[in-house]
Amino acid sequence: MFEDVKKVAGLYIRVSTEDQAREGFSLPEQEKRLRAMCEYKGYEIYDVYKDAGISAKTGNKRPEFERLLQDIKDKKCNTIVVLKLDRLTRSVYDWENMLKFLEENEAYLDCANDDINTTNANGKMISRILTSVSQQEIERTSERTKIGLAGAIKVGHIPHQAPLGYKRVDKTLVPDITKKDIVIRIFDMYHNGLSYKKISNILNEEKVLDKTNWRDSTIVGILQNEIYKGDFVHGKRTKHPTYYTDVVEPIISKELWEECQVQKQKNSRSYQRTLNYLFLQKLKCPKCGRILGGKATTKKNGNSYFYYYCNDCKLTIKESVIEKFISDFIDDIVDYDSVVNQFFLPMIKQKIDNPKEEIEEEIRKQKNKFKRIREAYVDEVFTLEEYDLERKKVENTLEELETKLYETEICDELKFTPEDILIKRDIDFINSIKYPEKYKEYNKRWKDFDRVEKANLIMGYIEDITLSEKSNGKCEVEYVKFRESIANTCNELYDKGFIDRTDYTIFGNMIGTLRYSEYRDEKEVWQHILRLREFYDVGFYQATYNVRNKIFNLRINENSQAIVRVFPMQDYRKIDPNLKMEEYDLGILYINKDDGTNLEDKEAVFKFIPDKADGIITREVRTTTNVKPANMLGLKEVVDDDEEITDEVISS
């Protein structure tokens, strides 16, 4: 009876992106062949339905195909005519639904290249087999594509447009030295409590990248992009995204990125950090391991009191308790931050982050770009307004690059050495004794910092703080872990004798602290003393030290003299690695408190360090506000309660 039904055909033609280049799959070619078939079979053509650039995957929206199905429901046509079955679908599931649809609407399917007959059981079975083959083909193709894509991503070939702060070099994403600082600044501003809106307003006001259309959504996209910490997520909007770690060079640290994600959970439009928590993201609950939240209460007198808590385990710890725990060594952190990180390392970092050759190459490219813009304007490709806009962009970029090149060249000229670190620390220590009031003008102690400065220091140096649970629902500090990059650098400098650290010792019936450094060659020690004597009359003598009891036998009048630093006269780490010797011979550097500087200009001792060659002061020290005024001896009477002394030693 099906043979007697007049066939009114709807010609359905489709090409997906990957089919465009295949012979015989173009839209005009499909339509030509289907019209010839309908003429041969005597079908009346109702309409042609064309879906261009759309694959037959499940879930894809094909508007023309949907229109064809609706026309069949409305009895405007009763036969679907296609070139091949896979033009309709490559999914077995979708084909079963299609068979059901054709049966319910008394409609048919005719394929030019596949012998498909949907009017009987055998024809339906054959159609199912062909559809299964098509589905397998597309799944295998998808698998091969995913494997190839995964391999490309792992070597830095990210299949997207290069995000702000990156550029492509040989198909690989690498940081763009002309724009990466913008990304770093955005993360820093957000981490410091600025909202998306505030950040975009700042960038618009400053016309960063000559743009005034920075939006909240742009800032959100940057902060959420894992690429900036070196990772990449493929298929982020799908149910099963794939995460790749360390595939490109990061612009920011993973810690900063994660901390910004935690803050992002709050309402950025209404949230502005008015209260800065010193140890936010550094504390975990000792019971469940979750990061502790921060709260603050403000009294009527205006003072705020901070504490951290675990909402699930009902454990809390006061911020003042943590700060008291680290009080014995926090000024040493400040001191190290000042001398090493804020003075010497920025110069080294400048060389690493901005290689001179790369900057020079980028300058050359920008100058060539400027030349092309000028030629385009001469050839009337640009209007004067367009030319001025493009010229300004290049000029701004060139100005930034020239500045970075200048800074790098300065670093090449500066010949700072590890010895200079120890010289700077000793001079700072002596300055704090000789000129305490002037020293305070140049430097601050931990107690002098505001909360933002304290939080930044903790964020930069401390990895996390381990807590232990007390019986009353409170917590106490058990261990402070510093960042490996900081701890390793500091320990390496100490092991080589280029940096000192403070330790407790006993002087008869007195207990106090001394600045110790490790063994250095005798010639290096005398060179160090000679350099210090360009500024101050530094004295030297030897003393004995009881290793086990930490008792110092020395000749010093604490009222008129101060010990600058103590160091071993021999390399006892090699001579006595198991600490079997009872006494060590130590060298003592000291000063007379009442003596002034040997220089005519007292300000020079705060701004310069003596040169190694002939004592000429040639090395200027950048002024900083983050240097610890070291405690001269920190002496106090030994109390009878041994437990108190032990607690002090442990807390250091």
Q: Which domains does the chain have, with CATH numbers?
A: 2-151 (3.40.50.1390)
pLDDT of residue 538: 92
Residue 192 bridge partners (DSSP): none
Rounded Cα gap, residues 408 and 402, in angstroms: 10
pLDDT of residue 399: 81
- Residue 226: which of 206, 252, 207, 203 has the closest Cα? 252
pLDDT of residue 326: 81
Q: What integer is the mean pLDDT of 87-103?
A: 77
pLDDT of residue 628: 26
- Looking at per-residue pLDDT, the higher value among 532 and 154 belongs to 532
- Looking at per-residue pLDDT, the higher value among 636 and 268 belongs to 268
pLDDT of residue 642: 36
The residue type found at 439 is: Y
Rounded Cα gap, residues 444 and 458, in angstroms: 16
Cβ contacts of 373 within 8 Å, gap of 6 or more: 382, 387, 390, 391, 394
pLDDT of residue 115: 66
Whether pLDDT at 652 is above 80:
no
Whether pLDDT at 121 is above 60:
no
Could you read off the pLDDT of 432-442 as tens digits, one per residue? 899 988 888 87
pLDDT of residue 357: 74
Q: Which residue in the list 16, 195, 432, 517 is annotated as catalytic?
A: 16
Query: Is-contact 328 648, C-beta < 8 A?
Result: yes
Whether pLDDT at 1 is above 50:
no
Show the CA angle centred on residue 17, arms to residues 13 and 19, nearest 5°.
65
Cβ contacts of 508 within 8 Å, gap of 6 or more: none
Cβ atoms within 10 Å of 241's Cβ, excluding its own: 10
Could you read off the pLDDT of 176-190 as tens digits, one per residue? 878 888 888 898 888
Residue labelled with tokens 């679908």 = 89
Could you read off the pLDDT of 619-631 as tens digits, one per residue? 444 333 232 222 2
pLDDT of residue 95: 75
Rounded Cα gap, residues 127 and 99, in angstroms: 10
Q: Which of 195-204, 447-456, 496-505, 512-521 has the lowest mean pLDDT?
A: 496-505
Q: What integer is the mean pLDDT of 240-247?
A: 77
Question: How deeply is 96 buried, as exposed, middle or buried, from its count of CB atoms within 10 A (0-12, 13-18, 19+)?
Answer: middle
Rounded Cα gap, residues 635 and 506, in angstroms: 9
Q: Given phi > 0 = left and psi -120 to 50 = alpha, else beta, which region is 553?
A: beta
Could you read off the pLDDT of 598-622 as tens digits, one per residue? 888 888 888 788 876 444 444 444 3
Could you read off the pLDDT of 320-333 as tens digits, one per residue? 888 888 876 777 67
Rounded Cα gap, residues 567 and 541, in angstroms: 11
Highest mean pLDDT among 6-10, 271-275, 334-338: 6-10
Q: Given phi > 0 = left and psi -120 to 50 = alpha, else beta, which region is 101?
A: alpha
Could you read off the pLDDT of 536-577 as tens digits, one per residue? 999 988 888 887 777 777 777 777 888 898 889 899 888 988
| Strand order across the beta sheet in which 79-82 lies | 44-52, 8-15, 79-82, 108-111
pLDDT of residue 398: 85
In the residue annotation, 468 being an active-site residue is answered as no
Q: Given phi > 0 = left and psi -120 to 50 = alpha, else beta, which region is 518?
A: beta
The residue type found at 6 is: K
- Residue 478: which of 331, 322, 290 has the closest Cα? 322
Rounded Cα gap, residues 184 and 42, in angstroms: 70
Could you read off the pLDDT of 353-377 as tens digits, one per residue? 556 777 888 888 888 888 888 887 7
pLDDT of residue 68: 93
- Looking at per-residue pLDDT, the higher value among 282 and 581 belongs to 581
- Of all residues in the chain, what percent carry a pLDDT higher than 70? 72
Dihedral angle, C-alpha 510, 514, 520, 521, nearest 10 °: -50
Cβ atoms within 10 Å of 601's Cβ, excluding its own: 10
Rounded Cα gap, residues 11 and 64, in angstroms: 11
The interaxial angle of helices 384-413 and 356-378, nearest 10 deg, is 160
State the DSSP string of 606-634: HHEE--SSSS---EEPPP-S------S--
Query: Is-contact 249 166, C-beta < 8 A?
Result: no
Would you say the pTM of this structure is higher than 0.85? no
Which three-class secondary structure state does DSSP give residue 106?
Answer: coil
Rounded Cα gap, residues 584 and 554, in angstroms: 12
Token pair for 24: 């015989």
> 622-631 burial string, b = 16+ CB within 10 Å, else e?
eebebbbbbb
Could you read off the pLDDT of 584-599 as tens digits, one per residue? 888 889 999 888 888 8
Whether pLDDT at 504 is above 80:
no
Query: How far is Cα of residue 598 from the mean position of the Cα atoms in its chain?
Result: 47
pLDDT of residue 44: 93
> What phi and psi values does residue 192 have, to the nearest 5 degrees?
-85, 5
pLDDT of residue 235: 65
Rounded Cα gap, residues 586 and 500, in angstroms: 14
DSSP-derived letter for residue 291 is B
Rounded Cα gap, residues 107 and 98, in angstroms: 10
pLDDT of residue 430: 92
DSSP-derived letter for residue 158 is -
Cβ contacts of 604 within 8 Å, gap of 6 or more: 597, 617
Could you read off the pLDDT of 49-71 as tens digits, one per residue? 988 777 656 556 788 999 999 99
Q: What integer is the mean pLDDT of 204-213?
A: 87
Question: How deeply is 208 buried, as exposed, middle or buried, from its count of CB atoms within 10 A (0-12, 13-18, 19+)?
Answer: middle
pLDDT of residue 276: 75
pLDDT of residue 339: 64
Residue 406 pLDDT grade (very low, low, confident, very high; cuts 50, 70, 90):
low
Cβ contacts of 259 within 8 Å, gap of 6 or more: 191, 281, 459
- Residue 536: which of 632, 619, 609 has the closest Cα? 609
